[in-house]
Amino acid sequence: MRLSDLQAKMVINVKDGKHLGIIVDAEVTELGQINYFVVATKHFFKRLFRNLPEQTIEIKQIVKIGEDVILVEL
């Protein structure tokens, strides 16, 4: 699976069902392993005009990657 495939999926927290946003970036080690994904809020215009913090999702926090969503446990 490519990063661009993951960027098309919504990130959902399984504890409260909240839509966290979408994956916009990933930090990769020199060995090619992903440390974490960077998730931006779902509101594009709010991100554009405000400096909203991005959230990081570690690989161990991912519960399931489905066709349309990525389920995480925070």
The CATH number assigned to the domain holding 35 equals 2.30.30.240
2-18 residue pLDDT tens: 888 888 899 999 999 99
Confidence bin at 54 (pLDDT 50/70/90): confident
- Spatial CB neighbours of 52, under 8 Å, sequence gap ≥ 6: 40, 41, 46
| Structural domains in the chain (count) | 1
Domain of 16, in residue numbers? 3-72
Q: Are 68 and 59 in contact (CB under 8 A)?
A: no
> How many Å apart are CA 65 and CA 50, to the nearest integer?
30
Q: Is the pTM of this model over 0.85?
A: no
Is it the case that residue 64 has pLDDT exceeding 80? yes
**What are the beta bridge partners of residue 70?**
11, 65
Confidence bin at 48 (pLDDT 50/70/90): low
